[in-house]
Structure 1
Amino acid sequence: MASYNTELSRRGPGLMLADIAAGDDAQVAALAAVIARADPDILLLQGVDYDHDGAALNALADRLAAQGAPYAHRFARPPNSGQPSGADLDGDGQRHGPGDAQGFGHFPGQGGLALLSRYPVDPRAVRDFSSLLWADLPGATLPVLDGRPFPSAGAQSVQRLSNTAHWDVPVQVAGTVLHILAFHATPPVFDGPEDRNGLRNRDELRLWSLYLDGALPGAPAPAGPVVLMGDANLDPADGAGRHGAIAALLAHPRLQDPLPGSDGARQAGAGDGQRGEPAHDTVDWPEDGPGNLRVDYVLPDAAFRVLGAGVHWPADGPAAEEAARASRHRLVWVDIALP
Structure 2
Amino acid sequence: MKRILITGAAGFLGSHLCDRFIKEGYNVIGMDNLITGDLKNIEHLFPLENFKFYNHDITNFIHIPGDLDYILHFASPASPIDYLKIPIQTLKVGANGTHNCLGLAKAKNAKILIASTSEVYGDPLVHPQTEEYYGNVNSVGPRGVYDEAKRYQEAITMAYHTFHKVDIGIVRIFNTYGPRMRLNDGRVLPAFIGQALRGEDLTVFGDGSQTRSFCYVDDLIEGIYRLLHSNYHAPVNIGNPDEITILDFAKEIIELTGTTQKIVYKDLPKDDPLKRQPNIEKAKRILGWEPKVDRKEGLQITYEYFKSLPMNVIRDLNHKDFTKYIN
The TM tier, using the shorter chain, reads: 0.3 to 0.5
Q: Which has the higher helix share?
A: 2
